[in-house]
Amino acid sequence: MLRLIKKILTRVLLLLVVVALGYFIVLPKVLPIKYREQVEKYAKMYDVEESLIYAVIFCESRFNPDAHSRAGAKGLMQVTTETGWWVASRVDSLDVDTLDLKDPETSIAVGTWYLQWLEEKFGDVQPTVLAAYNAGHGKVSQWLDDNQYSEDGYHLEEIPFPETNSYVRKVELVQKLYKIFYRL
């Protein structure tokens, strides 16, 4: 009987070690928390959930500040130059002439402000906000005005762009993971 108890306790201890290693070694590599200071700063400044900012950064650039897309978006939060200029023209602390979207601080400031603006515009309906972040707020406004895609003008029953639909689902899933594993 004592041998069985030792065997069970050994297995439980081994399992706890494996779980701890996974949590403290593997998790930060698979689902990283980087640029914490900037994310916390702009999340608080613009009242956007940290988990959402991390999820957008993860899905957009995998935390690579030099990332760029075929659509011309760049930086951690994959903002286009035009959107960056538009945001900078509305935020006192940003200068349109020196805007560097590959700079992590600037990218997070611009991307988070834009998320907050989209939340206000689309009534905090997160799937709609994320669709607008990906496809553009003008395109999403058109979809919301079309009964084929929205019954109430706030919620998208269908997202006609498969890439945008996939993006929304991916960001929502990654955000849930950040909330669960990092308690954000």
Q: Would you name the residues annotated as active-site residues?
A: 60
Structure tokens at 147: 């009964």
The burial class, CB within 10 Å (0-12 / 13-18 / 19+), for 75 is buried
What helix, strand, coil percent values describe the chain, rounded to 5?
A: 65, 0, 35
Query: What is the DSSP code (8-state) at residue 68?
Result: B
DSSP state letters, 21-82: HIIIIIHHHHS---SHHHHHHHHHHHT--HHHHHHHHHHHHTT-TT-B-TTS-BTTTTB-HH
Looking at the chain, how many residues does it have? 184
